[in-house]
Amino acid sequence: MKVTIEELEAYLLDHYSNGGIDQSLFMKLVEEIGEVAEVLNKKAGRKSSTNEDLRAQLGNELADVIHYAVAIAALNGLDMNEIVIEKDKAASVKYNHRMNLEQFVIDMRNKG
C-alpha cells in the first residue's frame, strides 16, 4: 500500500488534533533525529554495534522523523505536498538542476 503526503497529513491531524502540541512534537522530532544519527554512526563504525539490523533500525527511525515532521505541518495547516514541490522548483533553479521534482514525477507517470 502506498500513502500520499495528503493522507498522512489527514491521519496525523486526526490523531493529534485533540492534544498534539507543536513543542512536544518538535521535541519528539529532535529525539528521533538523534536516533537517526546514532544508527548512522553505528553504520559508519564510529559507534559499536552488536549484530543489530542497522538497515531496519534506520528505516524505523526515519519513519519516526517523517511522522513527527508531517504531524507538525498538519497541525499548522501546511500543505507539505505543495510546499515540497515549490521548494524543489526554487532549489532546481538555484542549483541549476536538469529537472525539478514536478517534471520528474510527470515524466515517471507518463512512462507508466
Give the per-residue pLDDT at 112.
77
Provide mean pLDDT across the span 42-59: 94
- Both 3 and 34 in a single domain? yes
- Both 37 and 68 in a single domain? yes
- Residue 111 structural domain: 80-112
Give the per-residue pLDDT at 101.
97
Give the per-residue pLDDT at 99.
97
- Both 59 and 87 in a single domain? no
Give the per-residue pLDDT at 83.
98
- Both 10 and 56 in a single domain? yes
Residues 6+ apart with CB under 8 A from 91: 97
Give the per-residue pLDDT at 19.
79
Give the per-residue pLDDT at 84.
97
pTM of the model: 0.90
Q: For 3-19, what is each residue's pLDDT tens digit?
A: 999 999 999 999 999 87
- The count of domains in the chain is 2
> Which CA distances in Å does 100 have to 4, 10, 78?
19, 26, 21
- Both 60 and 90 in a single domain? no
Geometric angle at alpha carbon 39, from 36 and 41, rounded to 5°: 110
User: Among candidates 54, 59, 65, 82, which has minimal Cα distance to 26?
Assistant: 65
- Both 29 and 84 in a single domain? no
Residue 71, domain CATH: 1.10.287.1080
- Both 70 and 18 in a single domain? yes
- Both 34 and 60 in a single domain? yes
- Both 25 and 10 in a single domain? yes
Please give the Cα distance from 28 to 67 (Å, whole number): 10
Average pLDDT of every residue of the chain: 96
Give the per-residue pLDDT at 46.
95
**Single-letter amino acid code for the residue at 29:** L
- Both 60 and 95 in a single domain? no
